[in-house]
C-alpha cells in the first residue's frame, strides 16, 4: 500500500517570501502521479499542481513549483512570492496507475500561514 508523509504539521511565512513544503511517499509502482491540493479555511479543496512520475521536468504553475526527486521519493512544493490568500492546509496526494488507480492517498497536511 502507498503511504504519503508530510513531516511539517505547520509552517509560516512572511508575505512575498518563498516557502517550501515537504512530502515523501512510498510505493512499489513505477508509473504514478503526484498532486498538491490546497484547502483554505472552511472552503473546498482545489488542485494546486500535478506531476507525472514519468516526466523528469518539474511541474510549475505560476508561483507554484515542485521539486520531484523520484529516486528519493520526494515531492516538495515551493511557493514563491507568498500571498495572504495562500494561507491554507496543503495536502500532498498520490495516485497510482496500478491496482489503486481509482483513489488518491493523502498525507496529513501542512497548515501554511502567510503573515502580513
In the complex, which residues of this chain contact other proteins (CB under 8 A)? Answer: 4, 33, 35, 37, 43-47, 50, 52, 91, 93, 95, 97, 101-109
Chain-centroid distance, C-alpha 64: 10
As measured in angstroms, the least distance from the Cβ of 18 to other proteins is: 24
Q: Within 13 Å, how many C-alpha atoms sit on residue 65's CB side?
A: 9
Nearer to other proteins, 15 or 53 (CB): 53
**Choice between 52 and 87, CB closer to other proteins:** 52
E strand or H helix that includes residue 51: strand 46-52
**86 three-state secondary structure:** helix
For residue 5, the minimal CB distance to other proteins (Å) is 11
Rounded least distance, CB 23 to other proteins, Å: 11
DSSP assignment, residue 57? S
Amino acid at each position: 500500500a502507498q503511504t504519503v508523509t508530510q513531516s511539517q504539521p505547520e509552517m509560516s511565512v512572511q508575505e512575498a517570501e518563498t516557502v517550501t513544503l515537504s512530502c515523501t511517499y512510498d510505493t512499489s509502482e513505477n508509473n504514478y502521479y503526484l498532486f498538491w491540493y490546497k484547502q483554505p479555511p472552511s472552503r473546498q479543496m482545489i488542485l494546486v499542481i500535478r506531476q507525472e512520475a514519468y516526466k523528469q521536468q518539474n511541474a510549475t504553475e505560476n508561483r507554484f513549483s515542485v521539486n520531484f526527486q523520484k529516486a528519493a521519493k520526494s515531492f516538495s512544493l515551493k511557493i514563491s512570492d507568498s500571498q495572504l490568500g495562500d494561507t491554507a492546509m496543503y495536502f500532498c496526494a498520490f495516485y497510482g496507475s496500478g491496482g489503486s488507480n481509482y483513489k488518491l492517498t493523502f498525507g496529513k497536511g501542512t497548515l501554511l500561514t502567510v503573515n502580513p
